Amino acid sequence: MRDQRHQEAEETINVRLWTYAEAVKARPYLRSIVRSLREHWLESQRMRLQMRRLDARPGRPDRQALIVRTEAAREAERAADHFNEALRELEAIDVYCLDPARGLALIPFRLGEDLAWFVFDLFVPQGLDAWRFHADPLETRRPLREELDPGLVDQVFSSRRLMS
């Protein structure tokens, strides 16, 4: 029984909780990393698709086809390495990639006693336009109030009475 409790304690993950003001300040950096994640993920997928198409060709591959496939595999691996490097950089600041193709990342914060997430969207001009509770389905997006300044928004999000 004691060993099981010890294992559970070791599996606890400490996540840095962001404020809205910190998330707003980090937008240019987040935009750069999330864009890099997206580009490397798409490149990796493109090369893997090229490899599948080459493998699906009927008959035995000739020398040129083998060279092209080897190069595609090398490029796919290189893109995957770059993707993983960017992912580690993002996770080092406790921001998590939700969908690399859509350019979505989640930034943790506390709303009252609950864990919540700011949604960073690469394709939204302001970058941050929504938030969600941890327990919400991944598709859930609650709008941020853009007319508020970052200091006031931090006060609003720390208040329990404004929860949706």
pLDDT of 151 > 80? The answer is no
From CA 46, how far away is CA 75, in angstroms rounded? 10
Higher pLDDT, 145 or 101: 101
At 90-129, the pLDDT tens digits run 999 999 999 999 999 999 999 888 999 999 999 998 899 8
Among 38-52, 124-138, 140-154, where is mean pLDDT lowest? 140-154
Average pLDDT over residues 18-42: 94
Eight-class DSSP state of 162: G
If DSSP codes are grouped into helix, strand and coil, which group holds residue 125?
coil
Give me the chain's average pLDDT, please: 84
Eight-class DSSP state of 29: H
Other C-beta atoms lying within 10 Å of the C-beta of residue 14: 6
If DSSP codes are grouped into helix, strand and coil, which group holds residue 73?
helix
What confidence category does residue 37 fall into, taking pLDDT thresholds of 50, 70 and 90?
A: very high
pTM summary value: 0.76
